[in-house]
Amino acid sequence: MIAIHKSDIGFYPRWVKYCEESKIPFKIVDCHKTDIVQQLEGCKVLLWHHWQVNYKDLLKAKRVLFALEHAGMKVFPNFKSSWHFDDKIAQKYLLEALGLPLVRSYHFVDKMEALDWVNNTEFPKVFKLKGGAGSANVKLVRDKQNAIRLINQAFSKGFSGYDSFEALKERFGKFKQGKESFLGVLKSVYRVFNPPYYAKMMGRIKYEIYFQDFIPNNDSDIRVIVVGNKAFAIKRMVRSNDFRASGSGNILYDIKLFNESLIKSSFEYSKSLGAQAVAFDYVFQDGKAQIVEISYGFAIQGYDQCEGYWDENLNFFPGSFDSTKWIIDDIINELKIGK
């Protein structure tokens, strides 16, 4: 029996539909409740598509999933796939340790070390908070003064995980392009006075700071997602007058945009990470792909228009597919072979 954590969004509705269609025994559970372990009686698997913007998920997902995995249960996402989820700083150390091509990154927990670095490095750089999605917490740092200001802030009042003015600017930009409703803009105005729960729960992000080298001249990024032994990809164009692609909503799917060698390396990186599912965000320098971040989860609707997927031997299978089914298939297979 497979347990699936109920939520309105993400992989959940598709997982339920797949189990129903394929007559896979399943049970819907609520991992936010204190009796989650008891709810799981008789289940061998727990699936939970958790998000960084749900404060209950933030409080419980890693604790519950890793506790159950520790005790021998099959879970998605498992430890290796997700201990670094929504933590770009954890990813820096992991990718460095595995020798994967992360954009050169810098993390300081000491103000003097950070200021020293500023005096001996070149600009622009990219500043990122450890968490966030859709480019929300990613900024260009044009010069030394700008970097010093950020360092001073990091080592005093810190940053909110939700930048309400940026969020408002982003929504307004999308509204002007006809990609956002007026109600959406109003919601963002409301959020200026009343930040979302998750941001309040997280408190201020401080006493550390994270930068990456700025990789110039990218009009897009490429995201390759590997789920088990299958992969698919999208290309996201940057916002106008901006270097940031993720969350722009301008996605290209044409298969000719994706280099097979990038798909091949992504399979290798995924193996090396030991991930059940992993999205790699790549930018390019002199034709060489560099990773800016990784994530076990993704907004599934953005991939429905993919033209097909590759297997590990780089055979391409054209046509529509649903990668959330692969997650279930992979885990059932593991159970069968007793892995």
Ligand X SMILES: Nc1ncnc2c1ncn2[C@@H]1O[C@H](COP(=O)(O)OP(=O)(O)O)[C@@H](O)[C@H]1O
Interaction site with ligand X (CB under 6 A): 103, 126, 128, 132-136, 138, 212-215, 218, 221, 238, 243-246, 281, 283, 292-293
Cα separation, 298 vs 275, in Å, equals 14
Does 86 contact Mg ion by CB under 5 A? no
Residue 331, binding choice from Mg ion, ligand X, none, Cβ under 5 to 8 Å by partner class = none
Look-up of token digits 């506790």: 67
Residue 262 Cβ vs ligand X, minimum distance, rounded to whole Å: 15
Q: Which is nearer to ligand X, 280 or 310 (CB)?
A: 280
Q: Which is nearer to ligand X, 133 or 199 (CB)?
A: 133
Residue 276 phi/psi, 5-degree rounding, is: -70, -40
Residue 289 Cβ vs ligand X, minimum distance, rounded to whole Å: 12
Cross-strand pairs, 249:
none
Cα separation, 270 vs 231, in Å, equals 10
Number of residues lying near Mg ion (CB under 5 A): 3
Residue 221 Cβ vs ligand X, minimum distance, rounded to whole Å: 4
Q: How many helices (H) and strands (E) does the chain have?
A: 12, 15
Cα separation, 40 vs 155, in Å, equals 43
Q: Retrieve residue 220's tokens.
A: 């897009």
- Touching Mg ion, residues 222-261 (CB under 5 A): 246
CB-count exposure of residue 334 (10 Å: 0-12, 13-18, 19+):
middle
Q: Which is nearer to ligand X, 48 or 211 (CB)?
A: 211
Residue 190 Cβ vs ligand X, minimum distance, rounded to whole Å: 22
- Computed over its alpha carbons, how large is the radius of gyration of the chain? 20
Which residue type does 23 have? K
Residue 226 Cβ vs ligand X, minimum distance, rounded to whole Å: 16
Residue 332 Cβ vs ligand X, minimum distance, rounded to whole Å: 31
- Touching Mg ion, residues 275-304 (CB under 5 A): 281, 293
Residue 131 phi/psi, 5-degree rounding, is: -120, 170
Q: Residues in the site for Mg ion, rule: CB under 5 A?
A: 246, 281, 293
